[in-house]
Amino acid sequence: MMRAGTMTIDANRWEPFTTIIEFLGVAFTGATLQAQVRQKKDNPGAALVDLTTVTNPNTEGLRLIYAGSATVADHIAAGRLSGVPDGMGAGDTTALSLVGMRINEATMEALPPAKEIGADLTLFWDMQITQGGAKRRWLEGPFNVLAGVTH
């Protein structure tokens, strides 16, 4: 069993959260994506945030932006990579998946308050990807809701 990678997410409470996650060496073509945010790991009941596969970048959820193989140089030229990954050369061919995550502002605002006014809140998240019938947790970690002033 491979352990999931750790990724800390810092998200401002009073605005939508968006990010693009890069998976080097895998192409998630046809995969189903799911991520949840909960107060604690293994917390029963409904998730605070439940993201599923979407195709529209303006819809809350997880979107497969790109999945395929090309040379590192081609990925860079297309804007999919910002530079040559460690241990690789520009002429090396590699699979790559880019997953966009969007959490709407209303969802961020509805998350529970921190114990003290003005404090950040730490929750937990993970992402499962199902491909070819096999479900696997790829990422997990703290989900920090950052307190703010302007609503």
pLDDT tens-digit profile of 41-68?
A: 999 999 999 999 999 999 999 999 999 9
DSSP H or E segment with residue 109: helix 105-110
Between CA 116 and CA 125 the distance in angstroms is: 22
Best CA proximity match to 99, nearest among 31, 49, 12: 31
Q: Give me the mean pLDDT over the 97-113 stretch.
A: 98
CATH class of 5-146: mainly beta
Average the pLDDT over 102-113 and give the result.
Answer: 98
pLDDT of residue 2: 82
| Token pair for 90 | 């520009």
Mean pLDDT rounded to a whole number for the chain: 97
**Residue 77 DSSP symbol:** H
pTM of the model: 0.94
Strands (E), 43-133: 49-52, 61-71, 93-103, 121-131
Domain positions in the chain are: 5-146
